[in-house]
Amino acid sequence: MQKLRSGRALATLETLEDPFIWVVPAFVAVTAAAGAYLLGKSTSESRTSGKKVKKAFLLVITHEYKNIRDRDVFLSLFEPLAKYVVQHEPETLGYEVAISDKTPLKILIFERYTSKAALTDVHQNSAPFKKFKQALEAANLEFASKTGESYIECDMGCM
């Protein structure tokens, strides 16, 4: 057996013939590479059969609540809708809510679609969305402020 400068042994012909010496590490390497490839695909590509969406339609909404209870009620109503969107709306590329790290009463809702029609014709007409809107009205939440704005991506970066 030969020695490397670092002191590690080089493989001998006998160790190369033992399949567990090379098959298991090779399997692990191939599996890790495949997993990294699949995890590295962007959400917009995986939700649209590998095609990059051009000029995606965005809806950005902010709410500031008067109290934490109302914010938390909103979040509890939003969660089932978000789960539905992820499972049943492939034209919805992104659907997320975030709480401000500086102002805990403030939230941002970020929605990203393949087109405006994916929002207006599909998402807003779904039974879970209508149920969410009814529950939101019934909850009678107190807002300090609400904003909403729609955008079309310029396709200059990544999302």
Tokens of 63: 């709410």
Instruction: Let me know how long the chain is.
Output: 159
Please list, residue by residue across 39-67, b when 16 or more beta carbons sit within 10 angstroms of its beta carbon and e when fewer do.
eeeeebeebbeeeebeebbbbeebbebee
Distance between CA atoms of 95 and 33, rounded to whole angstroms?
28
CA–CA separation, 123 vs 131, rounded Å? 12
How high is the pLDDT of residue 87?
97
- Quote the pLDDT of residue 5: 53
Model pLDDT, residue 159: 81
20 SS3 class:
helix
Q: Which two tokens stand for residue 47?
A: 């939700």
Average pLDDT, rounded, for the chain: 83
Displacement of CA 112 from its chain's centroid (Å): 10
> pLDDT tens across 5-61, in order?
555 555 555 555 665 555 555 555 555 555 444 444 444 455 655 568 899 999 999
What burial letters (b/e) apply to 142-159, b meaning 16+ CB within 10 Å?
eeeeeeeeeeebeeeeee
Task: Give the whole-angstrom CA distance, residue 74 versus residue 52.
Answer: 32
Question: In the prediction, which pLDDT does 158 show?
Answer: 85
**Residue 150's pLDDT is what?**
98
Domains of the chain (ranges, CATH numbers) = 1-40 (no CATH), 57-152 (3.30.70.100)
Q: Are the C-beta atoms of residues 54 and 72 closer than 8 Å to each other?
A: no
In angstroms, what CA-CA distances link 68 with 12, 71, 89, 100, 144? 67, 5, 30, 12, 12
Using one digit for the tens of pLDDT, what is the confidence trace for 66-116?
999 999 999 999 999 999 999 999 999 999 999 999 999 999 999 999 999
